[in-house]
Amino acid sequence: MKLQRDAHQVRWLEIRNVGSSEIPPFGVVEITGASLEEPNRIVLTVQLPTEDNATFVAFNSWHPVPVAKRGLGTLDSPVFSRYYASGGTPAFGQIWGVENGLYELSPGYSGFFIYGAVDTSREICLVDRAPVSTYKPYIDFKLEGTLTTGLSEADATIIAQYGPGTDSTYTGTADIIVKNLETHTTSTYVFYADYLDRGRALHDKDNEYIIVAMECE
């Protein structure tokens, strides 16, 4: 498999590693900004992903990028990406995505369509940015217990799904976990609700959803 030759078919941009760990070959990285280093020379600043299902991401080339050093990355797709081997071997048609704290795409998340060309020795595969229709939708839920501003999550049941696409794994009255967080990255608990109160949540990972609204009484 002539990865280096094939990789030149995408458009490469200069990247600088502003994180605290070395970026591995073909790693997915979170874009933190861009700088104009000199006239007509734009450099993307990147780091280890800090958010699940992140979309502002790029992919490293076939060379590692040490901390504070420059390399090449791309926003184009399809492109080769590292995959999380402990999550299984990717297969054509699956949807994988960015997981907080990993340079590899992981199952159970959304954002990227698997084409194949799996290289198990390098733990890479060919991926493409997935259409919006593959993303999991908003859901309406009812609580199976009380939720206070001191609790980070609660059990709930799906009662309806909305948005492009459906999540066939969790239909009807499937049990889920709703997370009472203001954002993905904080521990601020914002909602208070009683047993059987209803709300709306956005898919986070697996059968977990982040609350975005609760009914008012």
Do 113 and 141 fall into the same domain? no
Same domain, 113 and 154: no
Q: Distance (Å, rounded) from C-alpha 31 to C-alpha 23?
A: 13
Q: What is the 3-state secondary structure (H, E, C) of 13-64?
A: EEEEECCCCCECCCCEEEEEEEEEEECCEEEEEEECCCCCCCCCEEEECCCC
Q: Name the more confident of 124 and 8.
A: 124
In tens, the pLDDT along 22-72 reads 999 999 999 999 988 877 888 999 999 998 888 899 999 999 999 999 999
DSSP 8-state secondary structure symbol assigned to residue 196: T
Amino acid at 152: S
Structural domain of 117: 3-131
Assign 70 to helix, strand or coil: strand
CA 190/CA 202 separation, integer angstroms: 15
Give the total number of structural domains in the chain.
2
Q: In terms of domains, do 122 and 158 share one?
A: no
pTM over 0.85: no
